[in-house]
Structure 1
Amino acid sequence: MAIEQLFDTPLHFLQHGISKFGTGNVLLAVLVTATLGILADYAWMLYLRSKMPPGPLPLPIIGNTFQLPDTKPWIYFETLSKKYNTPLITFWIGRNPTVWINDAWTANELLDKRAGIYCSRPRMLVFAELGAGQYNLVNMYTTTPAERDRFRIQRKLMHQGVGIQQVKKYRSFQDDESKVVAYDMLTTPENYVAHFERYATSVVSIIGFGRRVADSNDPIITDVIAVMHRAADLNVPGKSFPMLMETFPILAKVPTEFAPWKHGLGARRTTGRGHDFFYTLAKEANDNPGHDDCYVKMLFKEAPKYNLHPCEISALSGNLFGAGSDTSSSTLITAVLAMRAFPETMNPAWEELDRVVGSDRSPSFDDDANLPYMRAFVKEVFRWRSVAIIGGQPHAPVQDDYYNGWLIPKSTWVQGNVWAIHRNEREFPDPDRFNPNRFIKDSPDARPFPGERGYMTFGWGRRVCSGQALAEQGTWLTIARLVWGFRVGPAFDASGKPIPVDIFDYTNGLNMRPQPFKVTFTPRSEAIRETIIREGKQALSDLAQFNGETKYRMSTFYKKQAAS
């Protein structure tokens, strides 16, 4: 007789089994089976660990997750690299190993020279699966031909917006927006952070949507910056929710409404037609007359050719802000911190600027070749406190790879520790000292470094930041203009004492920036002050063609969609 004929239902079978063998025996069997499974899994982890780069011993199931520090894990991984005397460290997030690269030459070998292998992304539960997903270029896998084709299409479209040659066309309004920053500094220097955020957001808004952001209180600034900060937080390994879901992915399967640890991730944030905020913003700009050369109009024009999904248009449009708003403004804030903390670096810059530029005009893009110290100054800003401190999202090899005899398995998280790379004493002696001479040719302070730029701020290989050229172009000009125009001095407390600044007091997100600090901005001369005013007024007049408003606000958009 078949066993299914002996018992009417699975429940009947279970009850009969428990009564026959006893509850204790069944539980013991379950416990033994589970223990053997855990031991077998742990044996596999230890076997893999023996072949991979060194690192702390992982525990079963949880790996090294709870050894993570509460903040700034990149410092911890730098310490581990020194402890094990190796450029590569393996650290287990749950059952998944992450390889951390802490050396410039190793990063160059793996992520640049072997870019074809390290071109994909690993599974990112929190940031990708519960967030932007595979419609976003930032997260895309490239393990299959179809995935690689889609990646190339989006990468091509992104280059049409902010590629090296394309960004040269933006120099005119980028220059004008930079002049407005200097002009605003004369009246409200205490709001320098807001001025930088307005500038950076406005530049990418003109590029993307044909509309500038004229007011530092424009909601799109605070909304977008807040989203970028949140996204940056979701890329930092953590031992608390929501990042703890990377260690225990089963927790992500609980419906969002019953899972407070998701922090709202995984919720449906689209309209009934599948359109979200950035798509709606792009559609609005596409429907508005004028500015036919803006990026979103190109996307809508090319959409049928490339079969673009609305979510892809949304992601490409939104990525402009990610590539150019938060990161660029954070870099400018770091530049001000360096000016305040290392005033001795300003004298060579002023001498060069006074000799080449004078006081009747501010620096322009054409001055770049004649301002080698200013170029070195900006490079040192990028090196000293890089914004994308762990090099952006992790890479993942599309096949097993070996480096110095160590195995790096297919799909492993591979993360570049830019903090450690830019603080290696071999390339950058006394790394916390801001020293532009590191980037002066034939200077005693210069050291060999892979790549012509001398820093790795924008990532590597096929996953290098799409907005690199735009950021480098605008950052150089704006810093040069600020150095030319102002002396950055200490602010004073109520008793008249200078308020110190802390060069280590930075935020904890992937895109780090200095915590708020106070300084003063003073025009270097009356002639320079008059030039700033004259150029600022003219810039506002030139930028008037981009004035306009949007009826959408991110802070209310999804609430309205949910209510409708």
Structure 2
Amino acid sequence: MDTMFYALVGVILAWAVYHLLLIGRRPKDYPPGPPTIPILGNIHQFQEWAQTYGPVYSLMLGTKVMIVLSSDQAVKDLLDKRSSTYSSRPDLYTGQTLLSGGKRMVMMLLFRWKTFDEPALQILYHNLDNYVRLNLTGGAALADFYPALRYLPTWLSPHKHEALQHYNHEIKLYLDLWLGAKQSILQKLPTTRPCICKEVVELQQHENFPDDYAAHIPSQLWEAGSDTTSTELYGFVQALLLYPTVQGKGQAEVDAVVGDDRLPTLEDMPNLPYVRACVKETLRWLPTAILGAFPHATTDEDFYNGHRIPRGATILLNTWTIHRDPERYPNPACFEPERFLGDDTTSTESANAIDVSRRDHFGFGAGRRICPGINVADRSMLLGIARFFWAFDVKLKVDEQGNVKMPKQDDFVPGFVAIPKPFDVEVTPRSKKRAEVVKKEWEKEKENLGDDGQFLQNVV
């Protein structure tokens, strides 16, 4: 009896050791890739691996596989043309299960709509910062790549405990804001403000999903737009310091079309080709989502260029490498708006181009989960850059000793988006007259704001 027991234990141990040794190994029919488990966080490594292993390669991350798409054609063939297979999301245990209660739309797996039976802006920003921080910890990565660790009790997993605490705080915050807006809309109070919440209330009445799901819809729209366009404009200012000839060209074009009595408007954009080119080049030169923001995942097994892509594989859009492809963009590291002169397409039109080589950039992603705010972002960037050229001069800041410090290109703050590390800059009005125009426009816009700084009505 003892012999049989020890033999059984030996077989179980051998089986466990064998399968542990298989963790991180790459099946022969997967796309090629690095021989060891990589450490994520170095974007230049992704670029080097693309040069070594080709436009489609795989990374073995614990028990998971990640397929990295580093060419425009691979993105077109898989994320666009086979979007029914490549539009889900990976199983992000910390980001979606613990921190979001399974309710964050941007991370949701594909599903069909069904009926569910079941104070301040600064606080929102602090909440979002903490969410990002917890997603970037080692505990989050381990739970994603080694699912067995998810079953550890909370008292043995400090990361899990902190994540659940965050979710309890966040859902209360979002629910309080949502229920206040919902009651205001249903009761048709005079304090009701125009926003997406009205449509969410109507959809909730029709679909009958609970308030905690409803609360996540406007909150995530706010999250998605809270730092993306501002980050791109921040990168544009850095480009003006690193490539000073751009400022003179942009200012000359805006001055010729607009004059100095008013700010540029969207109606001016057809006559501002250099401004439009600057928008496209900013989105290419410094894509906010250098690794395609949130990864995609496959819902079924697929084959591409002789390699198997398994069901449930994480799919990463290597935007940075595509945007640094010298065959696609000559002299890719340089900020050169001239490369887009003559391209009159919007980002949406460009993304839908049949010939992917004619697409301007991949900053908004691809496939069914391309950024839904793409048109808003385009317009915001056009106005932001045109008005920056019209109103301000940008130059390096001189310290008390007469020295200047040039910002370092491609040096980012760690996080979900590519934010350049802080740099010194001096921004001054181009003239007293233009400064007065800017002040007058601000005073005019303040008339549309309530005492709390929120819009009283829709303003176009």
| Matched residue, 2:348 | none
Cα 1:283/1:458, change in 2 over 3 Å: same
Note the 1:86-105 alignment, pairs <5 A: 86-105=54-73
Q: Deviations over 1:489-545 (max 9, x none)?
A: 111223111122111221121212111111001112232222212222222223348
Aligned-residue RMSD, C-alpha: 3.0
| TM-score for the superposition, normalised by structure 2 | 0.87
Show the counterpart of 1:466: 372
Pair 469,31 (structure 1): closer, same or farther in 2 beyond 3 Å: farther
- With over 3 angstroms needed to count, the CA separation of the structure-2 counterparts of 1:547 and 1:228, relative to structure 1, is closer
Instruction: Summarize the alignment of residues 247-326 of structure 1 with structure 2, pairs less than 5 Å apart.
Output: 247-262=145-160, 264-267=162-165, 269-270=167-168, 276-288=172-184, 289-290=189-190, 291=192, 293-326=194-227
Whether the aligned pair in 2 keeps the contact of 1:224 and 1:321 (CA below 8 Å) is no
Residue 148 of structure 1 pairs with residue 112 of structure 2:
yes
- Is 1:495 aligned with 2:401? yes
SS of the counterpart of 1:487?
Answer: strand
Distance in 2 (alpha carbons) for counterparts of 1:453 and 1:541 = 41
Matched letter for residue 400 of structure 2: A
Checking the alignment, whether the CA contact within 8 Å between 2:23 and 2:63 is kept in structure 1 is no
User: What secondary structure, in the 3-state scheme, does the structure 1 residue paired with 2:58 have?
Assistant: strand
The one-letter amino acid paired with 2:164 is G
- Mapped partners of 2:166, 2:226: distance in 1: 26
| Counterpart residue number, 1:129 | 97
Deviation at 1:234, TM superposition (A): 5.9
Cα deviation, 1:192-223, whole Å, max 9, x if unaligned, reads: xxxxxxxxxxxxxxxxxxxxxxxxxxx74443
- Native 8 Å contact 2:279 2:385 kept in 1: yes
Deviates more, 1:290-299 or 1:315-324: 290-299
1:483 aligns with 2:389: yes
Quote how far apart the aligned CAs of 1:21 are: 4.5
Distance 1:493 1:31, change over 3 A: farther
Question: Which residue is 2:311 aligned to?
Answer: 410
Cα distance in structure 2, aligned partners of 1:442 and 1:452: 9
Structure (1 or 2) with the greater helix fraction = 1
CA contact (8 A) 1:107 1:416 kept: yes
Quote the Cα distance in structure 2 between the aligned partners of 1:149 and 1:536.
43
Going from structure 1 to structure 2, the CA distance change for 1:545 and 1:474 (only over 3 Å counts) comes to farther
Q: What residue in structure 2 maps to residue 541 of structure 1?
A: 447
State whether residues 133 and 139 of structure 1, in contact with CA within 8 Å, keep that contact through their aligned partners in structure 2: no
Is 1:223 the counterpart of 2:123 in the alignment? yes
* Residues 100 and 482 of structure 1: CA distance in aligned 2, closer, same or farther (over 3 Å): same
* Partner AA of 1:317 in structure 2: P
1:261 to partner: Cα distance = 3.4
Aligned with 2:333 (options 408, 432, 436): 432
Among 36, 39, 42, the alignment partner of 1:73 is 42
The answer to whether structure 1 residue 354 and structure 2 residue 255 are counterparts is yes
- Given that 2:96 and 2:103 are in contact with CA atoms closer than 8 Å, whether structure 1 keeps it comes out as no
The number of aligned residues is: 440
Indicate the residue corresponding to 2:350 in structure 1.
none
Measured against aligned partners, the alpha-carbon deviations of 1:39-60 in whole angstroms (never above 9, x if no partner) come to 25756975x62111101235xx
How much has 1:419 moved relative to structure 2? Answer: 1.1
CA 1:275–1:383 in structure 2 vs 1: closer, same or farther (change >3 Å)?
A: closer
SS state at 2:394 partner: strand
- Contact map agreement 2:131 2:166 (CA 8 A) in 1: no
1:122 shift after superposition: 2.1
Amino acid at match of 1:114: R
Matching residue's letter, 2:35: L
> Which residue number corresponds to residue 32 of structure 2?
54
Give the number of the structure whose alpha-carbon radius of gyration is greater: 1
Tell whether the 8 Å contact from 1:77 to 1:89 is kept in structure 2 after alignment.
no
Alpha carbons of 1:423 and 1:376: their partners in 2 closer, same or farther (altered >3 Å)?
A: same
Q: CA-to-partner distance for each residue in 1:323-355, whole Å, 9 max, x for gaps?
A: 211212211211111112111111221111011
Assess, with a 3 A threshold, how the Cα gap between structure 1 residues 268 and 321 changes in structure 2: closer, same or farther.
closer
Cα–Cα, structure 1 residues 394 and 521, in superposed 2: closer, same or farther, change >3 Å? same
Hey, what's the Cα distance between the residues in 1 that align with 2:382 and 2:343? 22
2:342 pairs with 410, 430, 441, which one?
Answer: 441
Secondary structure in structure 1 of the residue aligned to 2:303: strand
The alignment's TM-score, normalised by the length of structure 1, stands at: 0.72
Q: Residue 415 of structure 2: which of 503, 509, 516 is its match?
A: 509
Alignment of 1:382-421 (within 5 A): 382-421=283-322
Partner of 1:30: 9
C-alpha distance after superposition, 1:371-397 (max 9, x if no partner): 111011011111111111211211112
- Tell me the distance in 2 between the aligned counterparts of 1:235 and 1:108: 29
Q: Per the alignment, do residues 320 and 45 of structure 1 end up closer, same or farther by CA in structure 2, a change over 3 Å counting?
A: closer
Aligned to 2:141: 243
CA separation in 1, counterparts of 2:331 and 2:10?
55
Relative to 1, partners in 2 of residues 1:263 and 1:423: Cα closer, same or farther, differing over 3 Å? farther
- What percentage of residue pairs aligned between the two structures are identical? 29
Matched AA of 1:360: D
Which residue, out of 363, 368, 381, partners 1:457? 363
Deviation at 1:73, TM superposition (A): 3.2
Asked whether the 8 Å contact 1:276–1:314 carries over to 2, the reply is no
Unaligned stretches of 5+ residues in structure 2: 345-352, 456-460
Helix, strand or coil for the counterpart of 1:470?
A: helix
1:294 Cα offset (Å): 1.9
Q: CA 1:79–1:227 in 2, change beyond 3 Å: closer, same or farther?
A: farther
Per-residue CA shift, 1:221-252, capped at 9, x if unaligned? 4433344444445666x7x3332222332222
Letter of the 1:261 partner, please give it.
H
Paired AA for residue 80 in structure 1 = W
**Range that drifts further, 358-367 or 452-461:** 452-461
| Paired AA for residue 9 in structure 2 | V
One-letter amino acid of the structure 1 residue matched with residue 291 of structure 2: I
Alignment partners' CA distance in 2, 1:529 and 1:292: 31
Is the CA contact 1:256–1:265 (under 8 Å) kept in the aligned structure 2?
Answer: no
SS in 2 for 1:134: coil
Q: What residue in structure 1 maps to residue 238 of structure 2? A: 337
Aligned match of 2:435: 529
Alpha-carbon contact 1:228-1:326 (below 8 Å) kept: no
Q: Deviations over 1:143-183 (max 9, x none)?
A: xxxx23359x9xxxxxxxxxxxxxxxxxxxxxxxxxxxxxx
Q: Structure 1: any 5+ residue segments left out of the alignment? A: 1-16, 59-63, 154-218, 550-564
Q: Secondary structure at the match of 2:295?
A: coil
